[in-house]
Chain A
Amino acid sequence: MASKEGGDKGKSSQGAGDNKEKRRKESILDLSKYLEKSIRVKFAGGREAAGILKGYDPLLNLVLDNTTEFLRDPDDPYKLLDDTRALGLVVCRGTSVVLICPMDGMEAIPNPFITQEG
């Protein structure tokens, strides 16, 4: 028991030193603001999904619940169709995440650039 406690103390003192370095590496993305909220995620290769953010880590791995995937044109993996399929509870691999945005406030709009060009 005594040796274990000694080991724990050693770890805690090391942890304090690590925290200083981690502050510099802190992500510019604070995913905690999206916890329990619905987010849209785009993946490398064209897959897109939306779900409620349940958890995350610094590598951008995500846990999504009630996830729906947006199905794509079989001939064009980057072209979305209107169909979706339910995936349920999902772990998203961080390295393949391309984009994250909140579903709240995201909407399809008509071409906003026409007025500027005309």
Chain B
Amino acid sequence: MLPLSLLRTAQNHPMLVELKNGETYNGHLVSCDNWMNINLREVICTSRDGDKFWRMPECYIRGSTIKYLRIPDEVIDMVKSRSRSEVSKGRGGGQNMRTGRGGNRGAFGNRGRPAPLARGGGNQGRNPQQNKNKK
């Protein structure tokens, strides 16, 4: 379950978006992209203090300014069914997916273990050289 998958599934659903500046926006999600930029329609904007309200037919919000989004509970069931159907269509069976994932984990694990040593060694190797070069 990826956050952006859930958000994509929530298109055409009502939601609440709180921005980092404290304002909240209630509206129906029209579209979103990989930066979490979103388009809302039939929006009600609430000020930070919750004392002022504006109605706007539509608005565009930059993803990087979002604090969180509240999404209807039923959307989570839709995202599960969709991801299963995608898996069966795209990868040809769950077992293949598992072995595929396991392979990735192993690969990352192997990379990860020597990495601290490699980094440490690399730094020890590099820093003196850089220092020598600077001196």
Q: How far is the CA of A44 from the CA of B65 in the complex (A)?
A: 8
Find residues 25-80 in chain B having any chain A CB closer than 8 Å to their own CB: 31-33, 37-39, 43-44, 47-49, 52-62, 65
- B21 interfacial by beta-carbon distance below 8 Å: yes
Find residues 55-101 in chain A having any chain B CB closer than 8 Å to their own CB: 60, 78-79, 97-101
B59 touches A112 (CB 8 A): no
Asked if A98 meets B21 with Cβ closer than 8 Å, knowing A28-B32, A106-B54, A112-B53, the reply is yes
**Count of chain A residues with a beta carbon within 8 Å of a chain B beta carbon:** 25
- B121 interfacial by beta-carbon distance below 8 Å: no
- What number of residue pairs across chains A and B have CB atoms under 8 A from each other? 70
B53 touches A28 (CB 8 A): no
B37 touches A29 (CB 8 A): yes
Asked if A78 meets B48 with Cβ closer than 8 Å, knowing A28-B32, A98-B21, A100-B60, the reply is yes
Q: Which residue of chain A lies nearest to B62 when distances are taken between CB atoms in the complex?
A: A98
> B6 — which chain A residues lie within 8 A by C-beta?
none
Q: How far is the CA of A104 from the CA of B59 in the complex (A)?
A: 12
Q: Which of B47, B60, B62: most chain A Cβ within 10 A?
A: B60
Q: How far is the CA of A101 from the CA of B43 in the complex (A)?
A: 10
| Interface CB pairs A-B, < 8 A, 13 | A28-B31, A28-B37, A44-B21, A99-B19, A100-B60, A102-B56, A105-B55, A106-B56, A106-B57, A107-B55, A109-B54, A111-B53, A112-B53
* Additional A-B contact list (8), CB under 8 Å, known A101-B56, A108-B53, A109-B54: A27-B33, A27-B37, A28-B31, A60-B62, A78-B22, A99-B65, A105-B55, A108-B54
